[in-house]
Amino acid sequence: MVIVMTPEATSDNIDSIVDLVATAGGEAYVTRGVSRTIIGLVGDVQQFETLDLNALPGVADVLRISAPYKLVSRENHVSRSVVSVAGVPIGGDHMTLIAGPCAVETPEQTLAAALMAKAAGASLLRGGAYKPRTSPYAFQGLGETGLKILSDVRAETGLPIVTEVVDAADVELVASYADMLQIGTRNMQNFALLQAAGEAGRPVMLKRGMSSTIEEWLMAAEYIAQRGNLDIVLCERGIRTFEKATRNTLDISAVPVAQRLSHLPVIVDPSHSGGKRDLVLPLSRAAIAVGADGIIVDVHPEPETALCDGPQALVGADLDELARVVATLPAMLGRTLA
Ligand code: E4P
Ligand code: PEP
């Protein structure tokens, strides 16, 4: 931590900061410039944060040098992590395709979507049994019935399941079926849910809040990690901007930024960001090219009848093209399709 003093700061102001830091168990190193003095602090940053340094006389600014998140930070964990989901790797030299229906609707629809996903090269099946919907009148998901359908489809296809949990009270139940828990954009800062997911004994995919900064996203991941679970995958799924042509704006730069700041794998959801079928393939290519560790894509056998997000679901020739993209593009970047 570095304290920048105002040009008017007196020697007394500086000395009292040095004393205060010493009482907090730290050390303060004073560097006197021509017009400004800066004080470098060494010690426990959390302890310094209780001192209200910004409010002291003569202080212009207090700058944090180390990241406020620790367990998910790359500062303390230089090599990038690989998260295993029932044996399927996400991260490292792999590029993982997760695909499936937005919502589990029927056994037939889920199986058909899973087979489409598998044919396209997916090694993990997505599908929501608990749907976080804007409208209370919209389809909310089948709940445990949906989890059972996913479990049957896993048995039939061999694809491990990624599914969303929206309530801390449901974590144990969802974890008893799921291979990976998904925490959606709307719940990124549901701290009780994050903590419960951290204790569930399953890898967690944490989507970025639609109006969250990358730092807030990493702090949310820290909640999961703090409960003893470091098997976390970050998912960029588009953020709210002024642009209305897309459902959300895919923040493609968030991928390398998050990968630089955190050791956790980072994947992209081109379906929920673009919100339109014709954007999914271009955004998938962009995600793979920028170095995403995976993509999660909505597919549906009959998108026009889908109970949730039909307009963004891939079907038919688009899936053939997805298969071609994941079979060729990762290899050009030194990655293998997981
Ligand atoms: C799907 O996965 C989400 O539940 C969906 O995108 C929510 O959006 P909506 O309820 O606004 O349609
Ligand atoms: C989803 O993937 O099913 C979902 C609800 O996505 P998001 O949280 O990104 O809106």
The pLDDT tens digits for 178-217 are 999 999 999 999 999 999 999 999 999 999 999 999 999 9
* Protein residue with least CA distance to atom 5, ligand 1: 133
Interval between CA 135 and ligand 2 midpoint (Å): 14
Distance CA 131, CA 166 (A): 8
Residue 52 C-alpha from the chain's centroid: 31
CB-based contact 95:132 (threshold 8 Å): no
Q: Is 107 in the pocket of ligand 1 (CB under 6 A)?
A: no
pLDDT for 34 equals 82
Select from 88, 87, 89, 69 the least CA-distant residue to 77.
69
What pLDDT sits at residue 265? 98
**Band of pLDDT at residue 277, cut at 50, 70 and 90:** very high
Read off the pLDDT of residues 137-180 as tens digits, 9 standing for 90 and up: 999 999 999 999 999 999 999 999 999 999 999 999 999 999 99
Whether pLDDT at 66 is above 90: no
Helical H segments across the chain, by residue range: 11-23, 45-49, 107-120, 144-157, 171-177, 191-198, 214-226, 254-261, 270-274, 277-290, 317-332
Give the pLDDT score at 44. Answer: 86
User: Residue 105's pLDDT band (boundaries 50, 70, 90)?
Assistant: very high
Quick check: CB of 208 below 6 Å from ligand 2? no
**pTM score, two decimals?**
0.91
Neighbours of 131 (CB within 10 A): 21
**Rounded-to-integer distance, Cα 303 and Cα 299, Å:** 8
Contact 93, 336 (CB under 8 A): yes
The answer to whether 72 and 218 have CB atoms below 8 angstroms apart is yes
Q: Is the CB of 164 under 6 A from ligand 2?
A: yes
Predicted pLDDT of residue 268:
98
With a 6 Å cutoff on the Cβ, whether 79 touches ligand 1 is no
Candidates 88, 78, 107; CA nearest to 296 is 88
CB distance 218 to ligand 1 below 6 Å:
no
Cβ of 165 below 6 Å from ligand 2: no
Residue that the structure tokens 């001192």 belong to: 51
The answer on pLDDT for 82 being more than 90 is yes
Nearest Cα residue to atom 4 of ligand 2: 184
Region 90-98: mean pLDDT is 98
CA of 182 to the centre of ligand 2 (A): 9
Band of residue 76 on the pLDDT scale cut at 50, 70, 90: confident
In this predicted structure, what is the pLDDT of residue 47? 86
Strand bridging mode 27-32 / 37-42: antiparallel
Please return the burial class of 1, using the count of CB atoms within 10 Å of its CB with bins 0-12, 13-18 and 19+: buried
What separation in Å is there between the alpha carbon of 185 and the centre of ligand 2? 6
